[in-house]
Structure 1
Amino acid sequence: MTTQQHNDREILRLVEQAVVAAAEAIQDRFSIDARPIDRHDIGAKIQANDAISMSILQEKLAAARPEATLVEDELETGLLPPGEWWVVDPVEGAINQIHGMAEWCVSATLIRDNEPVITVVHLPLTGDTYSAVAGAGAQQNGQPLSVSAKRDIDAAMVGTGQAMPGESVQVYQMMGASVSTMLQTALTVRVSVPATLQLIQVAAGRMDAFWQFSQVRSGLVSGALLVQEAGGQLTDVHGKPWSLESEHFVAAPPQLSAAVTNALSPLIQTTYS
């Protein structure tokens, strides 16, 4: 283990404490009977939860790594300036949380010169914590994760979802076309949000691939590092290595990656032609 990895493991312990504390605060506000009544109510509930979680994350992450700057806009995309940045989602899957559904989490990822290097995702309703340090593997509750060993796309469970409400018409067209294509290519297709909760399944080998035609940084970086450290491959839809400036995203085991991108890449030209 390098000195940097050792230091990052020490930071990881503090990040886990921060993310768990924020998630537990939101868990206290969770009810399976929650039923927002309109878009105003939805927005108000999401904002209230985000504010509580973010205040905890800001304080604890600043203590864990004072040199890093917190990105406060969770819907940002693209490259960051050089240096260290915290990319967080204070309630990932917030729309699920306020509707009384269980599919939500809290995540925090340290980005160093545009590369994810430390991540923690905590699911308070199950008590599961997923974590990774670049070059040191990915874990669920301290146990190593490994991507699927499947070799045939027709046996694969795959998934996709939207980065956020209000995507462009072209993105929606590609999403619809991709689901149709993958229904004919893979064994089964899941369409849900948030992306991270599908990506942790890819990292754990329970799902075999995930793709998304647009990117919101906070929705991809934590799952991306988990998949990568679990032995997966990250590309864009054309099969080129994924980065924060990529316009689309594919995560899969190396032996399935080409089959996924070969199925999806023609949709880019078809949709925009």
Structure 2
Amino acid sequence: MSADRELLPDIIAAVQTAGARLRKRFDIGSRPEDLSEIVAALRTNDTAVLELLRPALETVRPGAGWVEDELEGGALPDGEWWVIDPAEGNINHVHAMTEWSVTATLVRDNEPVVTVVHLPLTEDTYTAIRGEGAYLNDVRLHTSNKSQLNSALVGTGQAKPAETTETLHCIGRSVTAMLENALVTRVSVPATMQLIQVAAGRMDVFWQHSDVRSGLVAGALLVTEAGGTVTDIAGNPWSAASPDLLAAAPALHAAAVEVLTEALR
């Protein structure tokens, strides 16, 4: 058993326990009425989950750093870091929508090496260890076998509320290009909830014009370990330092790069 695999049961336990708390906070009648109410609910969710998750993970890997801001992007210092999202899809949670999860990823020298994504409403847990495959509960995951973009279900989304105008324009142009070339194009949040679909072979391509680590590192490792191809949008090798991300079934990757890079010229 690898050293990273030895960590996995404790990471799963920590994330599932935290997820149970977030599930108790889920209210199907929630209808926030203004921005201040939304922000307060988001922060309360994060705090409630972190009270359990942070001490548990710091016990699992005491020497690892901790990323304080879940919306941070760019390269991390060398060494090990916990990149977590206590409520990935928090905006969905506070609006009584079901696409949300709790994630924890150990990143080593800017590469994700172990990840756990737990969906409390379904009690499904996605896991991956670098070099050892990706799993949904105990079932190994494999990306899609599709080879034609015109049969592909693809998706993207907005990484954070305060995107730059340039980023928003990139999203718009890329969505238009995929609407013209793919079978169906989804635009939704959060990134992780689409990336697990790519890893499971249910979706075929996901891209995002963002470097927000907490939304990308877990899904990037899951897709890679499920046999998919993960790069930046230009087709270069991806790491936490990359400016954006493209994850695809292997036979669709080149076509996706071509469509997206042409759209952004």
Using the size of structure 2 for normalisation, the TM-score is 0.98
Moved more, 222-231 or 248-257: 248-257
Cα RMSD over matched residues?
0.8
TM-superposition CA deviations, 1:179-204 (whole Å, max 9, x none):
11101101000100000000000000
Separation in structure 1 between the aligned mates of residue 239 and residue 262 of structure 2, nearest angstrom: 21
1:189-200 map, 5 Å: 189-200=185-196
Give unmatched runs, 5+ long, in structure 1.
none
Question: For 1:30, which of 26, 34, 49 is the aligned residue?
Answer: 26
Tell me, yes or no, if structure 1 residue 113 matches structure 2 residue 109: yes
Alignment match of 1:259 (pick from 248, 255, 262) = 255
Q: Which amino acid aligns with 1:221?
A: V
SS of equivalent to 2:63: coil
Which of 119, 124, 128 pairs up with 1:128? 124
Counterpart in 2 of 1:223?
219
The 5 Å alignment of 1:102-251 reads 102-251=98-247
**SS across alignment from 1:214:** coil
Say if 2:76 and 2:241, in contact at 8 Å, map to a contact too: no
Match runs of 1:63-78 below 5 Å: 63-78=59-74
Task: List runs of 5+ in structure 2 lacking aligned partners.
Answer: none
**What's the offset of the Cα at 1:266?**
2.1
Secondary structure (helix, strand or coil) at the match of 1:180 reads helix
2:94 maps to which residue? Answer: 98
Contact 2:174-2:264 within 8 A present in 1 as well = no
**Aligned pairs for 1:35-74 within 5 A:** 35-74=31-70
SS in 2 for 1:184: helix
- The number of residues matched between the two structures is 265
In the alignment, is residue 84 of structure 1 matched against residue 80 of structure 2?
yes
What TM-score, normalized to structure 1?
0.95
Deviation at 1:125, TM superposition (A): 0.4
